[in-house]
Structure 1
Amino acid sequence: MSEPLVHIQDFRMAFGNTTVIDDLSFDVHAGETFGFLGSNGSGKTTTLRALLGIYQPTAGTLHIDGKVFEPADGAKLGYLPEERGLYKKEPVLETMVYFGRLKGLDKHAARAWSLEYLERVGLAEKAQVRLDKLSGGQQQKVQLGVTIMNAPQLLILDEPTKGFDPVNRRLLMDIIEDQQRAGATVVMVTHHLEEVERLCDRVILLKDGTSHAYGTVGQVQEQFGSTVYRVTHTGAIPASPRYTVVSTEAAGHDRISRLAPAPGADGTTVLAELVGGGVAVSGFGSQRTSLEEVFLRVYGTDTLAARTSGTETAGVGA
């Protein structure tokens, strides 16, 4: 296999006496889409900022295309930060053309590309409107356009669909898929795990600055057990060494729980344990472990519920 496009080895990041990243290593290979996952404060944004030279790492190697990233390499890279960073007092089209020229396009090409992109994302009529007059989601669409307009070799997208409704989220996923087909390498931070299952070849899951899962989506699912059991029931499910309750949700007068079997336990064993424990079971079936369930096992149900309720801060631990 060729050298990875992104190589992070033994990365450590400390702010004063607080270590926020500890002994982190992973690679991103050319042409793949890589999911960078974790709860708020797990270390994702800190890692990206160290990779791009915004933070100086305490220890370790962080390389893009075989070397430490420098601003002169920016033409090969598109970075969409979680925070919006455009000139909000300027018109949309003028801003896009300006950034296009910074990225090496001539004025005519930058204007033509920008107009076509604005048409695609439903903002053609906003071309002469100041950015600060747009909604947050509209500004995010503009910033994504600026990020991809020079067809960069590497795209780093930090929450690209944050705050979008399902229709606009699908539109942006389609745009990202276009970049994939054109050969771009994509590193994507997202809390929408269905996006990861749709787009990503491999993933890493961070908690407290360390890796808790790393590999293809299938490998990560297998690492946490490839099968869970979906149980429709009334009453509480008792604790048992035969299974772990991954999640429980209300479904009318019933509850639906997902149970991860213990090593050596199959569906017959789990069902017998439930019935023997007095659980009134009205439905029972197996399904593949989802990334959401992997997330639950690493972080717990409270964190899963909260992970989209806030944003990562710009400072320590983000």
Structure 2
Amino acid sequence: MSNFRVIPSGLNLRSFGEVAPDNIIAVLPQGQIVTRIGSEPDSEKWWRVQTVLNGSTLQGFVSKSYLSAILQLQEKVLWVVNYDALNWFVDRAIFVKATAVAIRTDNDLERAIPAFHAKGIKVYGWRWPSAERVRALKEAQNVVDLLNKGLDGYYVDPEGEPGRHYDWNQKNLELIAEDFCKAIAAASTGKPFGTTSHFRAKKVFDKLPWNSFFKYSNVFLPQAYWKSAGGLINGGDPEKNYRQSLDEWEVTGASRDKIVPMAGELEFSTAVQIKEYALEAQKQGVASLHFYTATKNVKSEVWDEVAKVG
């Protein structure tokens, strides 16, 4: 027996495998989990299933085209910019059942790595590095040193910021990006080395050296956020932004099967939006969830939903 999740907002559970006005047992809501109990071939349109709805166990038939196989979650990553106390962040990661954390590399990662490893949680570093050669390569060497001390992987976050030393949305930065990535990739063999940036990719940062970063990446993390301190992002729809990030990053050069859209920002999110994000990941066959970012302003109900999903 296998479990599946209902894709549409309402799916009719029928007493027999045929569309008829008098055979509807119940309407199953989006996200409802059903268990396949029939022995019909996979190619059959109608599958016999069982589910628990409002405390009652129901059996009937549904159209298989409206079901999504439930993937086993491979990774749940909680991101952070900075924290006042390492113990607080360790507590949050444990609470949400994170399998890994992503910590900006200006924190004390030498303390964080053993603290999280003791709890069975991986530690990734991340940074929006300088686009100036000397500063960029200094960050690369810092990452290499941390990898040698047990860091489990690294995500580079190139973005655009006109007039600042970390503005990657400029021409002629390919060699700096190449040298930065090459140094880290050489030390991170077998570990995740990813790129994260705006979910609309080159439509927002058209001069950013995407190819140089993507060449060395084995995971791609578009920031498919729906709200931040600046307000709604692209209409504020988690599902829409998730789907668009997959399309935009594939067009920009990422392998679609290695694209893992991120959720956020947690401080400006609702529990419903977290659920919508996780459901969309399920629909798209992505078995990793990334949440940006842990702060003390995240609502308790949002923490609860992050803990629940996956």
Q: State the TM-score, normalized to the length of structure 2.
A: 0.31
Q: State the TM-score, normalized to the length of structure 1.
A: 0.31
